[in-house]
Amino acid sequence: MLQQAFIETLTMVGASTAIAAVCGLPLGLILACTASGHILEQPVINRILGAVINVGRSIPFIILMVAVIPFTRFVVGTSIGTTAAIVPLSIAAIPFVARLVESAVFEIDRGVIEAAQSMGSSPWQIIWKVLIPEARPALVLGLTITTVNLVGYSAMAGAIGGGGLGDLAIRYGYQRFRADVMLQTVVLLVILVQALQTLGDWASRKLSRR
């Protein structure tokens, strides 16, 4: 039971992190590059995108999960289960990742971007050869935070039958007074989060050449 829940958690967190990263990275880059004074300054696009992302971030997850049920059914064919839970988890994480990417890009010294421009780089070349590589350590740290957040969010996935460790703790540990199950799941969650954070810190350090 515990093992199955653990695998469900890993599936939900892993898949939604991957999807959020893939969708959030370009969104974050657009957000950063269209900001005023940046390489593709576009105030209107920037403001609209920023507003949409803020809306996404302000909806409580449990409500979001229910609200997107029709969309979930459309994408994965069902609205309950582990796979179905991946959809709202990803949707919740995408705006979060976008903001993290934006701030990671803003961290890059403007002088470095100016240097690339002075050498005749196109905006596209600056994104690929300067922004992404230079932001990599910060991006890895941001992704670590996202993953840990998603571990927490995934506990709520029980509401739509997503399963996972958090769900197990609520249904067995809390509602059926099984203190042993509660303890086991919590310990497992703590270990998982610690492991993820350690891995993220290590990878970020490894990438940083400062």
Partner 1 sequence: MIQLKGISKTFSGAKAVHALNNVHLHIPAGKIFGIIGPSGAGKSTLLRCINLLETPDQGEVWVDNVRLDTLSPKELRRARQKMGMIFQHFNLLSSRTVAENVAFPLEIAKVDPAQRRLAVAELLELVGLSDKANAYPAQLSGGQKQRVGIARALANKPRVLLCDEATSALDPETTKSVLQLLKSINEQFNLTIVVITHEMSVIQEICDLVAVLEHGTVQEWGPVVEVFTRPQAQATKRMLRGTFAANIPPELLDRPSQSRGPRRLLKLSFVGDRAHQPIISHMVQNYKVDANILFGRIDQMKDLPFGMLVLELVGDEERLSQAVSFLESQQVELEVLA
Residues that bind partner 1 (CB under 8 A): 109, 111-112, 114-122, 125, 129-130, 133-134, 136, 207, 209-210
Q: Taking the complex as a whole, how short is the minimal distance between the CB of residue 27 and partner 1, in angstroms?
A: 22
Q: Based on C-alpha coordinates, what's the Rg of the chain?
A: 19
Q: Taking the complex as a whole, how short is the minimal distance between the CB of residue 105 and partner 1, in angstroms?
A: 14
How far is the C-alpha of 175 from the C-alpha of 49, rounded, in Å? 42
Q: Taking the complex as a whole, how short is the minimal distance between the CB of residue 106 and partner 1, in angstroms?
A: 16
> 131 or 189, CB closer to partner 1?
131
How far is the C-alpha of 8 from the C-alpha of 163, rounded, in Å? 6
> 38 or 155, CB closer to partner 1?
38
DSSP codes, 25-75: HHHHHHHHHTSTTSTT--HHHHHHHHHHHHHHHHS-HHHHHHHTHHHHHHH
> 15 or 39, CB closer to partner 1?
39
Q: Taking the complex as a whole, how short is the minimal distance between the CB of residue 203 and partner 1, in angstroms?
A: 14
